[in-house]
Each structure stands twice: as C-alpha cells, then as structure tokens.
Amino acid sequence: MEKLRSHPKISRRIKGGKTTEYDAHMIPEAGPKMLARPYTNGMVVAGDAAGHLLNNGYTFRGVDIAIQSGVAAAHTILDARKTQDYSTRTLQGFERRLRSDPSLKDMYTFGRVPGYLRKNRLYTTYPELMCSIAEAVYRVDGTGKKKIFKELRTQAKGKVSIFSLVWDLIGGARTF
C-alpha cells in the first residue's frame, strides 16, 4: 500500500488528503478442512467467521454461502428453541444442514481445492513450461521440430519430473 501511495502518479493526487476510514478483511478460503466444529454449547457460527466460503479457482463465493449458512444456523436455532435445548447435541443439526444444503454442499464437493491451489508449480513452473513449449512448437527457425511429448520432456528437464506432472494432472482431475 505504501508503495502505491508513494508512486508519483498517485502521491500527487492524494497530497494533503486525510484518511477518514479504512477497512481490511481476510478471506478465509482454506476450505472445509480448516473448519473447526461450527457449534458448541449455546452457540453456532456462520459465514466467514466459520470459514464458510468457497474459492474453487474459477468461482469465488462468500456472500451466497454466508447467507445460506446463516439460514441453516437460524433453522438450527429455531429447532433448538422448540425444546429449549441449546446444547451441542441439538446444535449438531447445523453441520448436517450445512452438508445437505445444495448450495453449501459445493463447499465440501470442492474441499480439496485450497490444498491443490497451494502448489507453487501452478503459478511458476507450469506457465513457464507452457510458454517455452509453445515457443518451441510454433517457432519456425529451420532447426527441425520435435514431437510435442518429446518437446515437453526436453523443456520439463530440471524444472519438473514427468511423474510430478502426471501426478498433478491426476490430482487436478480429482480436485475439480
């Protein structure tokens, strides 16, 4: 932020300005594996506070999941109210509701994604590999072309093993 503020194009525009309000917010996107039990005696936790959020790489959903999780929490509380029993035993219905609600189920369906997206190779090695393979495949320089798989093996050398590459592909297919 400081770097942005001190950039010449920005700093002259905000010169003399006063901060009146600021907000920062963590996105709890580590998936259901990070979720602690979202209820205890006398309490249910919903939305971001409970980590109810989905980032599966191609969609990012916090708002709708927070709403649905709030609705599930409300129904759980209404059930508990009928018997005036707000103990863990009654409130555990919350987790059952979370897992059966079609929208919230998505959170569990894509539960492996956060772990998969932590692989550094996805952001470094593979994009570089794609670019270098494309360069080798499309460049016409009269030196002769290798078949694509052979080119892949050449370009991957020293960057990633074919075993890891295949493993990541299978992992991706199982995750998404």
Ligand X SMILES: Cc1cc2nc3c(=O)[nH]c(=O)nc-3n(C[C@H](O)[C@H](O)[C@H](O)COP(=O)(O)OP(=O)(O)OC[C@H]3O[C@@H](n4cnc5c(N)ncnc54)[C@H](O)[C@@H]3O)c2cc1C
Residue 133 near ligand X by CB under 6 A: no
Nearest to 57 by CA among 122, 5, 7: 122
Among 60, 123, 167, 176, binds ligand X (CB under 6 A): 60
Among 30, 57, 62, 121, binds ligand X (CB under 6 A): 62
| Interface of this chain with ligand X, residues 3 to 32, rule: CB under 6 A | 25, 27
Nearest to 35 by CA among 22, 54, 21: 54
Residue 63 near ligand X by CB under 6 A: yes
Residue 38 near ligand X by CB under 6 A: no
Of residues 54 and 91, the one with the C-beta less far from ligand X: 54
**58, HSE (Cβ side, Cα atoms, 13 Å):** 3
Q: Which residues have a Cβ under 8 Å from the Cβ of 94 and sit 6 or more positions away?
A: 38, 39, 44, 72, 73, 76
Task: Give the nearest distance from C-beta 109 to ligand X in angstroms.
Answer: 17
Work out the burial of residue 96: count CB atoms within 10 Å of its CB; fewer than 13 is exposed, 13-18 middle, 19 or more buried. Answer: exposed
Q: Which two tokens stand for residue 48?
A: 């971001």
Of residues 70 and 115, the one with the C-beta less far from ligand X: 70
Task: Give the nearest distance from C-beta 70 to ligand X in angstroms.
Answer: 7
Residues in touch with ligand X (CB under 6 A): 25, 27, 47-49, 53, 60-64, 66
